[in-house]
Amino acid sequence: MPNPTTDPRHQTQLRLDAENRLRKGNAPQTNGWGVSADALALLYRLASAPDSAGDALKLLHELQAHQVELDLQHGQLQANEREFAQDLDRYKALFDFAPVGYFVVGREGLVIESNLAGARLLGVEPDEIGGRPVADFLAPDSRFALLGLLKKLRDGDTGASCEAQAGNGEGGSRPLRIVANMAPGGEAILMVVSESARTQGV
């Protein structure tokens, strides 16, 4: 996607929009910036001399058009920021309230982030998970399977899965299904944890 601040087509359209708003008298309100005292003094001197009056008018128009461009860009940045915040809130809700457990863990298995369902499946509170090895929340005989899964991903597998049991919280020995893959960039592992089909009568 072209950068709006450097894309010539965007800059041309921005100038046309600014010129049009100046002609119609509906330019946006300034956001605290304006022509400096030095610039006003220069404009006054130019306007006072017949030979440079035309240049003064051109310069004044250019300053006005540039200010409108800045105001339009400021308004677009604010709209983009609001849209980004809304998108972030929406995706955070999807992550937090998904019906399966989502985990982001480091390459060695330390939990970076988890959602509410993930904490529930492991039988712990959400604030008890971060920074701890995810294996800590599994039954001892399940930890080897998880460590094998992590090794496969570090060795280049695109995805891996294993069966495990929650073992260190109120979740008791609940059977779990763990599916994971390496995140883009390879700095973290994305993990989905759900109740094993054995607990669902399948």
Q: Which pLDDT tens digit goes with each residue over 156-176?
A: 998 999 999 987 555 457 899
Integer-rounded Cα Rg, in Å, for the chain is 30
Per-residue pLDDT of 94-152, as tens digits, reads: 667 888 999 999 999 999 999 999 998 988 888 888 899 999 999 998 999 999 999 99
**Domain locations in the chain as residue ranges:** 8-95, 97-200
The answer to whether residue 55 scores a pLDDT higher than 70 is: no
Find how far residue 120's CA is from the centre of its chain: 26
Which among 182, 202, 195, 188 has a CA at the least distance from the CA of 118? 195
Highest mean pLDDT (candidates 29-38, 93-102, 176-185): 176-185
Name 135's Cβ contacts closer than 8 Å, sequence gap at least 6: 109, 142, 143, 146, 147
pLDDT band at residue 53 under the 50/70/90 scheme: low
Query: What is the rounded distance in angstroms from the CA atom of residue 125 to the CA atom of residue 54?
Result: 72
Whether this prediction's pTM lies above 0.85 is answered by no
Q: Tell me the angle at which helices 53-96 and 37-48 cross, rounded to the nearest 10 degrees.
A: 150
Per-residue pLDDT of 62-87, as tens digits, reads: 666 667 667 777 777 777 788 877 77
Q: Give SS3 for 59.
A: helix
pLDDT of residue 132: 93
Cβ neighbours around 1 below 10 Å, total: 4
Cβ-count burial of 49 within 10 angstroms (0-12 exposed, 13-18 middle, 19+ buried)? exposed
C-alpha distances (whole Å) from 82 to each of 48, 74, 76 are 46, 12, 10
pLDDT band at residue 50 under the 50/70/90 scheme: low
C-alpha distances (whole Å) from 7 to each of 1, 4, 11, 12, 17 are 10, 5, 6, 9, 15
Query: What is the rounded distance in angstroms from the CA atom of residue 130 to the CA atom of residue 134?
Result: 9
Query: What is the rounded distance in angstroms from the CA atom of residue 182 to the CA atom of residue 190?
Result: 6
CATH number of 97-200: 3.30.450.20
